[in-house]
Structure 1
């Protein structure tokens, strides 16, 4: 597949972009923009979604949000620099720079939260939204994570509690305990796929955004997003929405249910025996579900469906 990389100026920063074009474009197939998670985890762990280019005949756009990966970093920026609005503005700047008049949007984890933040603003050109493995609020996320954490073996919970209380969350025993949670609820492929490892390494090398907005790890949320919610704004989403989750996802059903309950024309799909990185655990099945959803919503008139590409 033809792949082009470039940087797009954004304020006094730059956004790194990868555009994957299909070998055989399907007429009417709109481009798909992919939002990675974290915040601050870079695009590498979702790069296998580039396969949708040839599988559906559409262009697929990945980018590293500012603060991580190959885009501009700002390790000395104050905490209030890193806000959802910053990333909404970056996205809109990217869409305009690429000249995307109509497009689909898929966000994974934090990317789904960001996708919801974008969709409630009803941007021109947005044709559909896929929210994958994401909570509608961080308090709901934390409540779900605590429920999953309570199911861990006693010695694992003990290590987590003790090191968090002592402030020694960089202790190897604590990191080993977090790995138990991750292998149950974040990515059930062991050893972890290289794409996931690459993203983790980038975040660990420069964790400003993740530590500022989220905190130490996936279930010990102390960052600026700890009170974030989009629940009361979901009625403003005006495009068809697909909500994807895994059976063992750290984004629990209670955390993503508001998307389905409050977004008009929303539907959900839960993948059995999968967790937070459903797209890595069951890549072909995940892409097939996304491809079918996108194909339904290509037409300018949402009431007019377009047949799935063969």
Structure 2
């Protein structure tokens, strides 16, 4: 472990869990200094913090301490496989409660930044709209402002795939077959074009994909069987932009040119969040901090450290 890194666990009272829970976290840098730390929220749900390793240069090059953590249900935090399909348990409010618990445990109410990637961005936007004490700035990376708009745009992405891949995905969807090797192989083609275009896939990203494979409880319950089939109660009708006007901190929006979160489902943030800047990174998709790393670190670092933010 790096000398600048500490890890720990915090007890988390998850309503309805039926057992003691813990949230595992890792801190890069010293959160006791004058530099405001960044709390990073991973996607999935259930991917874990691993793929967020691309953010580490925000600390190395800009001196911003970073708090990573595995949300409940994945990675090194408490798993709840017995809650599969329990949409009364897997809610936004559950994860807000967990985030509040972690921030209080680390004594960050004096000031912190918030970063959310994909589902983590949806959660971060919801959290920020509640004006939590201490929040200074927000970065939303490839987080849909409207899931219905995201789903509406998926046919356009599927239409750009090879015909045999598209047919396989559509036929499997029609039959409700999301577990066959044929479906999984076709879904991988979609992933390589619109989720992570780095080849080979970075080890840290693969670890997050392995987390989802190992325990898909939160993902399957909240979202559904794939990136383009969303049937989970928590997600399917979610339209975060409707509370965007309540996000009062300076906000940076980032998505990729080939992102599965297309402009049509991302743009509503730009029109509803009062203090906002939007950057689309060329050549990148859903994991632009890996695909356009230097550009992302430069933009993100400047946003977080500059007094002129929008």
Correspondence for 1:300? none
Correspondence for 1:214? 223
Correspondence for 1:301? none
Q: Matches of 1:44 and 1:277 in 2, distance apart?
A: 13
Q: Deviations over 1:248-299 (max 9, x none)?
A: 00000011111111100101000001100001112222111100000125xx
1:51 CA displacement: 2.6
Check if 1:289 corresponds to 2:299. Answer: yes
Correspondence for 1:64? 70
Q: Matches of 1:9 and 1:173 in 2, distance apart?
A: 41
Q: Matches of 2:94 and 2:208 in 1, distance apart?
A: 21
Q: Matches of 2:44 and 2:117 in 1, distance apart?
A: 9
Select which of 82, 87, 90 maps to 1:82: 90
Instruction: Decide whether the 8 Å contact of 2:255 with 2:279 is kept in 1.
Output: yes
1:80 CA displacement: 1.3
Instruction: Decide whether the 8 Å contact of 1:29 with 1:56 is kept in 2.
Output: no
SS of 2:39 mapped into structure 1: strand
Select which of 7, 13, 21 maps to 1:13: 21
Correspondence for 2:16? none
Which has the higher mean CA deviation after the structures are superposed, 219-228 or 258-267? 219-228
Q: Deviations over 1:25-66 (max 9, x none)?
A: 997420000000011110111122123222111211000000
Q: Matches of 1:273 and 1:123 in 2, distance apart?
A: 35
TM-score of the aligned structures, taking structure 1 as reference length: 0.92
Select which of 152, 155, 174 maps to 1:143: 152
Q: Which runs of 4+ in 1 moved over 6 A?
A: none
Unaligned runs of 5+ in 2: 14-19
SS of 2:22 mapped into structure 1: strand
Q: Matches of 1:272 and 1:54 in 2, distance apart?
A: 24
Instruction: Decide whether the 8 Å contact of 2:50 with 2:207 is kept in 1.
Output: yes
Instruction: Decide whether the 8 Å contact of 2:121 with 2:142 is kept in 1.
Output: yes
Instruction: Decide whether the 8 Å contact of 2:283 with 2:292 is kept in 1.
Output: no
Q: Matches of 1:121 and 1:17 in 2, distance apart?
A: 23
Q: Matches of 2:155 and 2:220 in 1, distance apart?
A: 19
Check if 1:230 corresponds to 2:223. Answer: no
1:129 CA displacement: 0.3
Select which of 167, 176, 191 maps to 1:167: 176
TM-score of the aligned structures, taking structure 2 as reference length: 0.92
Aligned length, in residue pairs: 297
SS of 1:280 mapped into structure 2: helix
SS of 1:244 mapped into structure 2: strand
Q: Matches of 2:201 and 2:60 in 1, distance apart?
A: 25
Q: Deviations over 1:139-158 (max 9, x none)?
A: 11111222211222221111
Instruction: Decide whether the 8 Å contact of 2:46 with 2:218 is kept in 1.
Output: yes
Correspondence for 1:271? 281
